[in-house]
Structure 1
């Protein structure tokens, strides 16, 4: 048996990036031989084995044949006479189709090293078109390496466009689309994932709610002179600069979906777009089968973003209503991701990206104020039931009124970020 390091480990080592995991391909081997050496079989689609000491994946060299629709529509074949080159030619990009021999030499039959040096993402062969999931994978790699200067080869964009036009993307299962999307949202340039999909027409198939924002104008007094879709890209880029986690990034993906439902006679103001946005945000999350926390984040951002931006102008009863609706006492993380996402939105629109965003400190402080309002004294006074609830609300409103006054006085003295 000959064993080679393959895929991302070879690519990232040549790029000088940290190697997070290693995958190996076994040429000339059999399942029986690997198991006799202590390897543990895993996976149902084709023979993959875990190394008995390292736990790393070792796959038998294989070929594959298209047998149906979607990402899973393949028949795989393994045999001792399958060559390394036959295995590599089925991979997605040339930069992922290199192998490293035990002596450290690089086997590169499809010029992946040259494409690394040229900073080009190029498909290996026409077999690329047989797996529609590769459209999303290429877009994700584009998002990962955009900051290094990488671009997608024009012939690969054309191949991705043909896959889109074939209708194959509609056969992808939601779980795989969500997995690629969630990983892409956490890349260094997440906006490039969606822009790349837009360039090949796939955005309209996979994220029609986003595609519908293309070309829709916004009010210039609140936003730079870009359409709503471009604003979405800029928000995601800002979220990456702030190093935000996945939840607020997904919330930002949903936050302006309602603007697609404004009729042209209402442009560019988009009145009540937050209310209109609830339906497309819910539909997108349901179609993607996004986890419950993500779906909730999208809806919460759509509904309450305007209130967050206006937080310092809210009267204490309205502020209490907002905090209660967000359920901040039981779910403090919900307020955290909401203000994180709103801050990214604010900085995208602000003339000075370092301008202060006092809403964050103000709302988090307000949540702490209502958390510390003592209810025991009200009970000791004999209050219970609805009367207790009203008295507690009155006490919280008074506390918020005093807190707001103190916050504004302090802010006027020291308006630092």
Structure 2
């Protein structure tokens, strides 16, 4: 029985990055041998075990054979006869096929340290296993598929796009991009299940350059299948006085990258992705004339969230931002009553903890424009103060006084609303 550290741990260590997850492959063992040594079985589709002490995952070396469309259409074969090279061959990219015997993997945890990294590189040079040229592609910053078996799993299209966003300095090998385009043309992407699409999109949104993921998906044709509402934004002109970049799709990519620059949470980044969907090239006949693009965005993002089963937290924040970002941008022109109505529409009184996220998404939108990247977003601080003013009203006192006057229910609510408007008006002065 031989054990090897494989994939992302080796890749990240050689890139001077902290190793977060370690993957281990066991060659020459049976499930019975693993359980006899104290490993706990966790795999359903193929033999994966938890180490008795570290609780890290150890998978038996395996091969896969395509049996049906989509990413689940595989037959997995794991046995002591499967070699390490055969196991690595089923992986997506060459930079993820690097391996190191367990006996020489002790430095992985410290490899992001510059001194330790140099030592780890020497260890890998002496003992590393690289059957598919992964080290060369790592050094040349190239994302390249391992074998043509890549085409058998459409999730790999999303993974390549995600890696391109995580490592924006890497280029995609032309032959790999061509293969991704062929997979899209063959209809493989249409077989992806919503949960897996969302999982990869969420990871891509949280990278250092999320725009790259969507640009890669657009280049290979997958975006128009997975997110046609987003794909429709390219080629749609913006008002030049507000958007020097002109194109709505380009603007969206700048907004996403601004969300990464400002270290926004996932719900904020999803809201950034969804905020302008209503500007897409949707036939006008489908929309009543009185519905503006904010309302259209809200309707389209509901479709996307339901289709991809996006978490409620992301959906609700996106809905508010899609409907109200224009009003928030123009909030300096609103009077106290209008500001109070804005807070109510955003549910900021009931959920004040969400208000900063709403404002951050709007800031990303405002600064995601050519020449505006380093500007101060004035509405953010001001609207934080507006909410504080509204929340400073002691509602229990107002309710008690109203009840003494014989008022009940909605009438009390109206009194509280009027008090909050006065508090905002005093703040404005």
Q: TM-score range by the shorter chain?
A: over 0.9
C-alpha deviation, 1:376, in angstroms: 3.5
1:224–1:349 CA contact under 8 A, matched in 2: yes
C-alpha deviation, 1:390, in angstroms: 2.2
Secondary structure at the counterpart of residue 5 of structure 1: strand
Query: Which of the residues 313, 319, 335 maps onto 2:333?
Result: 313
Greater CA deviation, 200-209 or 357-366? 357-366
Secondary structure at the counterpart of residue 403 of structure 1: helix
CA displacement, residues 104-150 of structure 1 (integer Å, 9 cap, x when unaligned): 5110000000000000000000110000000000000000000xx21
Query: Which of the residues 105, 115, 140 maps onto 2:137?
Result: 115
2:255–2:365 CA contact under 8 A, matched in 1: yes
Q: What is the CA–CA distance in structure 2 between the aligned matches of 1:356 and 1:188, rounded to whole Å?
A: 22
C-alpha deviation, 1:47, in angstroms: 0.1
Q: What is the CA–CA distance in structure 1 between the aligned matches of 2:44 and 2:87, rounded to whole Å?
A: 18
1:373–1:395 CA contact under 8 A, matched in 2: yes
User: 2:111 is matched with which residue?
Assistant: none
Q: What is the CA–CA distance in structure 2 between the aligned matches of 1:387 and 1:332, rounded to whole Å?
A: 24
Secondary structure at the counterpart of residue 256 of structure 2: helix
User: 2:58 is matched with which residue?
Assistant: 58
1:66–1:130 CA contact under 8 A, matched in 2: yes
1:4 maps to 2:24: no
User: 1:82 is matched with which residue?
Assistant: 82
Secondary structure at the counterpart of residue 361 of structure 1: helix
Query: TM-score, normalised on structure 2?
Result: 0.90
User: 2:416 is matched with which residue?
Assistant: 392
1:175 maps to 2:186: no
Greater CA deviation, 386-395 or 334-343? 386-395
Q: What is the CA–CA distance in structure 1 between the aligned matches of 2:395 and 2:194, rounded to whole Å?
A: 47
| Aligned pairs (5 A) from 1:345-360 | 345-349=365-369, 351-360=371-380
2:233–2:281 CA contact under 8 A, matched in 1: no
Query: Which of the residues 153, 160, 168 maps onto 2:173?
Result: 153
Q: What is the CA–CA distance in structure 1 between the aligned matches of 2:417 and 2:311, rounded to whole Å?
A: 33
1:254 maps to 2:274: yes
Q: What is the CA–CA distance in structure 2 between the aligned matches of 1:317 and 1:141, rounded to whole Å?
A: 48
Pair 1:377–1:85, CA change in 2 (3 A): closer
Secondary structure at the counterpart of residue 243 of structure 1: coil
Pair 1:261–1:92, CA change in 2 (3 A): closer
2:98–2:129 CA contact under 8 A, matched in 1: yes
User: 1:143 is matched with which residue?
Assistant: 165
User: 1:411 is matched with which residue?
Assistant: none
User: 2:152 is matched with which residue?
Assistant: 130
1:339 maps to 2:363: no
C-alpha deviation, 1:271, in angstroms: 8.5
Query: TM-score, normalised on structure 1?
Result: 0.93
1:292 maps to 2:316: no
User: 1:184 is matched with which residue?
Assistant: 204
2:211–2:254 CA contact under 8 A, matched in 1: yes
Pair 1:96–1:262, CA change in 2 (3 A): closer
Let me know the Cα RMSD of the aligned residues: 1.7
Q: What is the CA–CA distance in structure 2 between the aligned matches of 1:160 and 1:330, rounded to whole Å?
A: 46
Q: What is the CA–CA distance in structure 1 between the aligned matches of 2:310 and 2:395, rounded to whole Å?
A: 38
C-alpha deviation, 1:263, in angstroms: 6.6
Query: Which of the residues 250, 253, 270 maps onto 1:230?
Result: 250
Secondary structure at the counterpart of residue 280 of structure 2: helix
Q: What is the CA–CA distance in structure 1 between the aligned matches of 2:376 and 2:281, rounded to whole Å?
A: 32
Greater CA deviation, 293-302 or 42-51? 293-302
1:403 maps to 2:427: yes
2:194–2:307 CA contact under 8 A, matched in 1: yes
C-alpha deviation, 1:262, in angstroms: 6.7
Query: Which of the residues 168, 184, 191 maps onto 1:164?
Result: 184
C-alpha deviation, 1:356, in angstroms: 2.1
CA displacement, residues 72-131 of structure 1 (integer Å, 9 cap, x when unaligned): 111100111111111111100000011112345110000000000000000000110000
Secondary structure at the counterpart of residue 349 of structure 2: coil
Q: What is the CA–CA distance in structure 2 between the aligned matches of 1:259 and 1:352, rounded to whole Å?
A: 21
Pair 1:81–1:372, CA change in 2 (3 A): same
* Number of equivalent positions: 399
CA displacement, residues 245-276 of structure 1 (integer Å, 9 cap, x when unaligned): 11111001011110115779xxxxx9821122
Q: What is the CA–CA distance in structure 2 between the aligned matches of 1:350 and 1:313, rounded to whole Å?
A: 24
Q: What is the CA–CA distance in structure 2 between the aligned matches of 1:297 and 1:261, rounded to whole Å?
A: 24
2:6–2:25 CA contact under 8 A, matched in 1: yes
Q: What is the CA–CA distance in structure 2 between the aligned matches of 1:38 and 1:274, rounded to whole Å?
A: 57
User: 2:35 is matched with which residue?
Assistant: 35
CA displacement, residues 27-82 of structure 1 (integer Å, 9 cap, x when unaligned): 10110111110000101010000100001111111011011121111110011111
C-alpha deviation, 1:375, in angstroms: 2.7
Structure 1 alignment gaps of length 5 or more: 265-269, 406-417
